[in-house]
A = this chain, B = another copy of it.
Amino acid sequence: MTSAAYDVLGIGNAIVDILAHAEDDFLKAHGLDKGAMALVDADRAAELYAKVGPAVECSGGSAANTIAGLASLGGRGAFIGKVADDQLGGVFRHDIQALGIAFETKPATDSAPTATSLVLVSPDAERTMQTYLGACVELGPDDIDEDMVGAAAVTYLEGYLWDPPAAKEAFLKASAIAHAKGRKVSLSLSDAFCVERHRGDFLELIAGHVDILFANEDEIISLYQADEFDAALQAVRGHCDIVALTRGPKGSVVLAGDEVHVVDADLVARLVDTTGAGDAYAAGFLFGLSKGDAMARCAHIGNVAAGEVIQHLGARPDRPLKELVQAKLGNA
């Protein structure tokens, strides 16, 4: 096996986030599940957008956020995802390439516009997302570049990819290539409702195809239809080489072979917007892994990265994570 040109290749939905503040009453009045990601069509997206206050646009997308975080830590990242050939597609492309990330997926032409996610941030910093997949439904197996997958130590896939039908095939193709080339496959479960939609597929994947699994408490409980966190933890043990389970302010639990680590969160002074917290944790964890760090340090780097993004509006780091990790954790 040749040495990897990329630490992590992310494959995911290429989305521009539209961030607006919203009171909980607004969520209730419009039947929105607080904390969840719901898929909406173009009309519903336009209807909700018209009802929210002034917004800010930032590049988003779960796996894309993770690769952005990895690059901000100093890691070598690549991304595959589908934008349209429009202004917001240009914004997404700029923001990912500006971090030095390899992004060569051809934009869709004559397609729906670039995907947007209306991210409603509650006063308690929880976020609720309404995603219009737009051009993301055009992502398919042909977009998976075999050389790029082969050149990445880890191929990282978001569970949300299970929503657009052709992306699932892209996902499986990438996973097969990665393993054939002796590389690792990582999956993030993305969202508890997403797990509800695709539970059977995810269980099968985790049993047979995933080396490194990321999930938050709600997602892992949903996956195993467990009553509580510990029951889900026992259920997932042994299914993947590494399982990193995040629990918000309660920190994270990492399972790796016989090792079990319970690592405290990096508590922050000013909680503003939790969008992207899980994505940033995965970025930090995978970055540590690429350096051969011990499991607990991987989790700590994940915590520092997540701690940064929840202190401001938007899912991607606002300042270089590399310096922050150096200041908080020092060298390994």
Say yes or no: is A205 at the interface (Cβ < 8 Å to chain B): no
Contacts of A50 in B (CB 8 A): 94
Knowing A87-B87, A87-B113, A88-B87, the reply to whether A99 touches B58 (Cβ < 8 A) is no
* Per-position binary interface string of chain A over residues 119-131, scored 1 when its CB falls under 8 Å from any chain B CB and 0 otherwise: 0000000000000
State whether A57 touches B91 (Cβ < 8 A): yes
Residue in B closest to A113 when the chains form the complex, CB atoms: B87
State whether B54 touches A57 (Cβ < 8 A): no
State whether A99 touches B54 (Cβ < 8 A): yes
- Number of copies of this protein chain within its complex: 2
Residue in B closest to A46 when the chains form the complex, CB atoms: B90
Cα A55 to Cα B314 in complex, Å, equals 11
Cα A56 to Cα B95 in complex, Å, equals 9
State whether B56 touches A94 (Cβ < 8 A): no
Which chain A residues numbered 43 to 75 have a C-beta less than 8 Å away from chain B? Answer: 49-50, 52-59, 68
Contacts of A209 in B (CB 8 A): none
Which chain A residues numbered 1 to 52 have a C-beta less than 8 Å away from chain B? Answer: 21, 49-50, 52
Given A56-B314, A57-B91, 13 additional A-B pairs, CB 8 A: A50-B94, A52-B98, A53-B99, A54-B59, A54-B68, A54-B99, A55-B94, A56-B57, A56-B58, A57-B58, A87-B87, A87-B113, A313-B318
State whether A54 touches B87 (Cβ < 8 A): no
Shortest Cβ distance from residue A273 to the other chain B in the assembled complex, whole angstroms: 11
Tier of interface size on chain A: 20 to 34
Shortest Cβ distance from residue A314 to the other chain B in the assembled complex, whole angstroms: 6
Contacts of A55 in B (CB 8 A): 91, 94-95, 98
State whether A56 touches B56 (Cβ < 8 A): yes
Say yes or no: is A82 at the interface (Cβ < 8 Å to chain B): no
Contacts of A99 in B (CB 8 A): 53-54
Cα A314 to Cα B314 in complex, Å, equals 13
Which chain A residues numbered 74 to 132 have a C-beta less than 8 Å away from chain B? Answer: 86-88, 91, 94-95, 98-99, 113
Contacts of A68 in B (CB 8 A): 54
Contacts of A300 in B (CB 8 A): none
Say yes or no: is A184 at the interface (Cβ < 8 Å to chain B): no
Say yes or no: is A316 at the interface (Cβ < 8 Å to chain B): yes
State whether B314 touches A95 (Cβ < 8 A): no
